[in-house]
Structure 1
Amino acid sequence: MSKIIVIIPARGGSKRLPNKNVMQFGEIPLLAHSILYAQKNHAIVDEIYVSTDNAAIKEVALSYGAKVIDRPDELSGDYEPTITAIEHGLKTIAADVANVIILQPTNPLRPENMLKEAYEYYENNNCDSLFTVSRNHQKLGRIDQQTFIPYNYEVGQRSQDLEPLYYENGLLYITKAKAILEHKIITENAFPFEVNHIFATVDIDTQDDLEYAEYLIEVGSRLRST
């Protein structure tokens, strides 16, 4: 029977926040949050893999119950796209895989029912791929010769009247294995699954990002205890 697997791409060469994937975040390593999230969705997920080139990351992955795909150095550079790691991982796994769920370790906070709801839509609508998006509520523009030129609004326009625009938030990707082997994560007909949640604003790449995410955890813990 074809499997549904999770692959978490977690290389060790972060420059702006060194060793971020194994840093403590909310009392456990950053990487562990994505592993535990996948484990909570065991009704959907058959196996969980971490693709890495780093011994410390490998140790954390194994200690939290994930399997490890040893990523070669040539697929671990600063400018290497995520798809090459996912494609390598899929080719490495000795299993019949139907669908691949990608969880980025830098997005450790996710709504509890997001994967369940997204996968139900993905299956029921026979999607080739699905990825999560959030609506933008900011007034955007560009600067040209020291002049600000509005992009998605007119000067004086209210924020609530902006044309709906969305951004790829990185919380979740689901793709058919055959598309991965064609070097695609987001296919031409990918479904944009909307997630408007404070967690969609978290993508840890700097110390400021980490502190913001820790603040959200602290606030959430306080609210649950009241």
Structure 2
Amino acid sequence: MRTIAIIPARGGSKRLPQKNIKLLGGIPLIAHSILYAKANSDIINEIYVSTDDDEIKNVALQFGAKVIDRPKSLSGDFEPTVSALKNVLQQIDEEIENIILLQPTNPLRPENLLKDAFKYYQKNQQDSLFTVTRNHQKFGKIEDKKFIPFNYEIGQRSQDLEPLFFENGLLYISKAKLILGDKIISENAFPFVIDSIFDKIDIDTQEDFDYTEYLYNKYIKT
């Protein structure tokens, strides 16, 4: 049984045009995820990029990934990611067991993240796993011009908050059969907790990109 990485990368970003090939540290954004997958070749058998964009396709091929042309019907703003993953599986003429989803908008990941997560995934026979990070902020909602706390009481210290976690998007691992059933994570998916300087990165705007570039220059660039 084989394990593949899939990197879905549309070309139609509205707020940051062509963000997936925007240079971060001198190489295109999507290349960071391709290179991360290649650095984990002991786990990943093949790397696929799903895209509807010729420029992204050329970059992916240049950095050693295989490309699956994504139909326009699966490339809209509101199309779920799982449809792109499913389309890749339907185009591959071999049996796949595990899918590793690497989102190009989360380009920086802890070096050993995949190895540690995949080891847990296999050892505990999970059908899916995704990374989460503990939240340390005080949330609430506004109703009738009043602020109503959600996860704390007024005056409570941040360090005493009930533990809440957010899905950080750095890594997803799923059984191929789950993807074919239109799901990336199941109800029994394991939340793999990490604490990393990179776990709040999700590039959608120029400000997001600038912040990522700052972290890259501070923690990655040598």
Give yes or no for TM over 0.5: yes
RMSD of Structure 2 on Structure 1 (CA): 0.9
TM-score (norm: length of structure 1): 0.97
Partner of 2:215: 216
- Deviation digits for residues 133-185 of structure 1 (CA, Å, limit 9, x no counterpart): 00000000011122111000000000000000000000000000111111110
1:209 maps to a residue whose letter is D
Partner of 2:119: 120
Partner of 1:194: 193
Partner of 1:13: 12
Partner of 2:175: 176
SS in 2 for 1:31: helix
- Deviation digits for residues 108-149 of structure 1 (CA, Å, limit 9, x no counterpart): 000000000000000000000000000000000011122111
Partner of 2:42: 43
- Deviation digits for residues 177-220 of structure 1 (CA, Å, limit 9, x no counterpart): 11111111011100000111010011100000000011111222
1:4 maps to a residue whose letter is T
Could you list the runs of 5+ residues in structure 2 that have no partner in the other structure? none
TM-score (norm: length of structure 2): 0.98
Partner of 1:165: 164
Partner of 2:90: 91
Q: How many residues align?
A: 222
2:144 maps to a residue whose letter is Q
Could you list the runs of 5+ residues in structure 1 that have no partner in the other structure? none
Partner of 2:108: 109
Partner of 1:72: 71
2:219 maps to a residue whose letter is G
Partner of 1:206: 205
1:199 maps to a residue whose letter is F
SS in 2 for 1:201: coil
- Deviation digits for residues 52-71 of structure 1 (CA, Å, limit 9, x no counterpart): 00000000000000000000
2:183 maps to a residue whose letter is K
Partner of 2:58: 59
Q: Distance in 2 between matches of 1:167 and 1:213?
A: 19
Q: Distance in 1 between matches of 2:91 and 2:59?
A: 20
Q: Distance in 2 between matches of 1:6 and 1:95?
A: 14
SS in 2 for 1:192: strand
- What's the % identity of the aligned pairs? 63
Q: Distance in 2 between matches of 1:198 and 1:220?
A: 9
Of residues 162-171 and 143-152 in structure 1, the stretch that sits farther from structure 2 once superposed is 143-152
SS in 2 for 1:210: helix
